[in-house]
Amino acid sequence: MRMVLESLGEPHHVGLAYDAWAPVVVDGRPESLGKVLDDRRGEWLGKLAGLSIDRDYPHFYGRWKASFGEPDAHTFELALASRLLVGHGNSSGTDVGITVHHTWGVPVIPGSALKGLLAHYLDAVHGPGQEGDPAREQCAGGQGSRGPGEVYRVLFGAPEAGGKSAPARASAGMIQFHDAIYVPHSVPEDRPFAADVLTVHQKSYYDSTGQSWPNDYDDPIPVAFLTIRPCVRLLFALSGPADWRKLAERLLRNALEQWGVGGKTSAGYGRLVDPSRLESPKEGKAPLGAPPPASLPRPGDVVQVVLLEARTTKGGWKARHEASGCAGPINNSPDVPVDKKAGDRIELVVASVNPSKREMYFRFTQEPPRSPSPRAGNSKGR
């Protein structure tokens, strides 16, 4: 079967090439069966990244976009400000899967993923805050005795909840989230995929389920996988009543820019923004993806930042260093005073800086900055 497939040449469908054309081990050590050997993985992924989409795909894209011409539907484009990895848990010969369009093999974000992202974002960012705030309770997605709030129910639907005193009937969501698909010709030569590498530094620790302590002498193990490259544009589509659809679009845009979608979002993957922000940034603002200013704070420096409304996936604070535009999480978020809120400006210690991704990690401390220690010569005569 493999000889027949290989005789047909390389396909335009990346998903098919990723599964059926993978140069996996068919004999040898049992633990290697069905895996792509490390010495072949880089070359193979490079070939996949060099594949262009099928030349007939633009015709399908045109029909797909035209199908949303009804008054209750709306489409809009967003562009990737970073790499995208959807479906990384899918089975593959590289241990890192990828989700592509089933028919055309182009980048796709399933509508179910977008709906789940927005439901989590709405509940975490606009949901329960101060007790008794009705506006925030309407956005809550909790499954308590009363069930989700009104806004949450309208957007996503909810099962029956509540008791005899305050019953809440089951309802279907009024907004339909369609798959987001690749916009043809949005990247040179219609090659939207790129190879990436994740390096595992403590393999023995993870393999031993905690029986072996992390150390400094393990060999780093790079794991190559396939992603979708930055600047790729995707077409999003929503259906439903106009007012609710506009609300869903605004919230979805915020969630995709601030949280990202897919895998490795904590490392900056999956961020999507309006294409104009990548092509023609406003005066005084650097375009997304551009190198940060040459002078950046160093780890250990104390800087002033603004707390962001967006939170980490675990609910921790994020902050932005406005002087450089770099943003990132506060590692010890629980130590931030409880009276602080989004928009407040506070001083934090820089924990690490990633200039290429415009990321900065912070640490909160109440200790004043240390003054330089006295020279050794000053202690003479003690």
Point out the residues of the chain with pLDDT beneath 50. 1, 4-5, 30-31, 130, 280-286, 289-294, 368-382
Cα torsion 324, 325, 326, 332: sign? positive
Residues 306-365: tens digit of each pLDDT: 888 788 878 889 998 877 778 899 999 888 998 888 888 899 999 988 876 678 999 998
The CA–CA distances, whole Å, from 92 to 32, 34, 39, 204, 232 equal: 13, 8, 17, 22, 23
Closest to 46 measured CA to CA, from 25, 26, 27, 23: 23
DSSP class of residue 124?
Answer: H
Which residues, including other chains, have CB under 8 Å from residue 3's CB and lie 6 or more apart?
A: none
Q: Tokens 């999956």, residue?
A: 270
Separation CA 142–CA 148 (nearest Å): 5
Separation CA 163–CA 168 (nearest Å): 8
pTM summary value: 0.67
Domains in the chain with CATH codes: 2-110+179-276 (no CATH), 113-177 (no CATH), 298-363 (2.40.50.140)
Residues 46-72: tens digit of each pLDDT: 888 888 888 899 999 999 999 999 889
- Give the CA angle between residues 229, 186, 93 to the nearest 5°: 35
How high is the pLDDT of residue 166?
56
Separation CA 213–CA 364 (nearest Å): 28
Separation CA 191–CA 37 (nearest Å): 25
Separation CA 179–CA 238 (nearest Å): 9
Closest to 162 measured CA to CA, from 150, 148, 149, 146: 146
How high is the pLDDT of residue 210?
55
Residue 288 token pair = 């997304």
Residue 297 token pair = 């704070």
Separation CA 56–CA 103 (nearest Å): 12
For the chain, give the number of residues. 382
